[in-house]
Amino acid sequence: MIFFDIDGTLIDHASASAAASLALFDQFQGAIPFERTEFPAIWEETLEKHFNRFCRGEISLWEQRRARVREVFAAPEMSDPEADSRYYAFVREYETLTRPYADSAECLECLAGRSLGIISNGTRDQQIGKLQRAGLLKHFSVMVYSEDVGLGKPSPSIFLEACRRAGESPQKCVHIGDNIEADIVPSRALGMYGIHLSRPGRSPVSPPVILSLGNLPALLN
């Protein structure tokens, strides 16, 4: 079984998140205490901080969403309904902007006939929606998300659950991802064939490393 991460691997999360964060900033102009040019990086940093807390099982899915909204608005006393409303203002824009990388569809088509799966820290409904809109969902027979096991990557439990559902031992599974700490280190520690996708062209880890999904079929063959 060949497992893929989604964001940063198949789907260009960073571009969509940056554009959607600017739309949020403009909608609530004057209520966010940061410079507009700085806000996409601040939003992503805040998202990652609180989403990692969710992946570690420290807070719920909705608690991490509210925490990031309260932090970027510098409004710790913001009510749950108001935080939810502002989160939805972001996510509605974000979902219209997510796109697959140019190499995603061709790579998956080249792997037709192989068993393909997903291991993702994103929420099930949102991540399936991304794959569906990108035309990629049809390729995957096994999909495991952090909410399915209560913990996200790099916890071994999400990788082991994916292998269990695939009916394969970790040693017979491949995992491709862009995040060293969340994808590569834990998958290799379990004996999976962890492939680092480094689109910027730099990687501090040992091979296998690829610079594009276009390189993947040849590597696996």
Q: What pLDDT, on the 0 to 100 scale, is given for residue 180?
A: 96
**H or E segment and range at residue 92:** helix 80-97
Do 106 and 215 sit in the same domain of this protein? yes
Beta strands 193-197 and 116-120, pairing class: unpaired
Last residue of some domain: 75, 97, 119?
97
Q: Residue 97, Cβ neighbours under 10 Å: how many?
A: 15
Domain extent at residue 77:
13-97
Regions of the chain short of the pLDDT cut 70: none
Do 6 and 35 sit in the same domain of this protein? no
**For the segment 1-15, what is each residue's pLDDT rounded down to a tens digit?**
999 999 999 999 999
Q: What pLDDT, on the 0 to 100 scale, is given for residue 61?
A: 86
**For the segment 135-182, what is each residue's pLDDT rounded down to a tens digit?**
999 999 999 999 888 889 999 999 999 999 999 999 999 999 999 999
Do 132 and 146 sit in the same domain of this protein? yes
Query: CATH code at 171?
Result: 3.40.50.1000
Q: Quote the number of domains for the chain.
A: 2
| DSSP letter, residue 58 | S
Do 114 and 188 sit in the same domain of this protein? yes
Do 76 and 127 sit in the same domain of this protein? no
φ, ψ at 45 (rounded to 5°) = -65, -40
Do 115 and 212 sit in the same domain of this protein? yes
Q: What pLDDT, on the 0 to 100 scale, is given for residue 57?
A: 87
Q: What pLDDT, on the 0 to 100 scale, is given for residue 32?
A: 96
Last residue of some domain: 65, 97, 129?
97
Q: What pLDDT, on the 0 to 100 scale, is given for residue 202?
A: 86
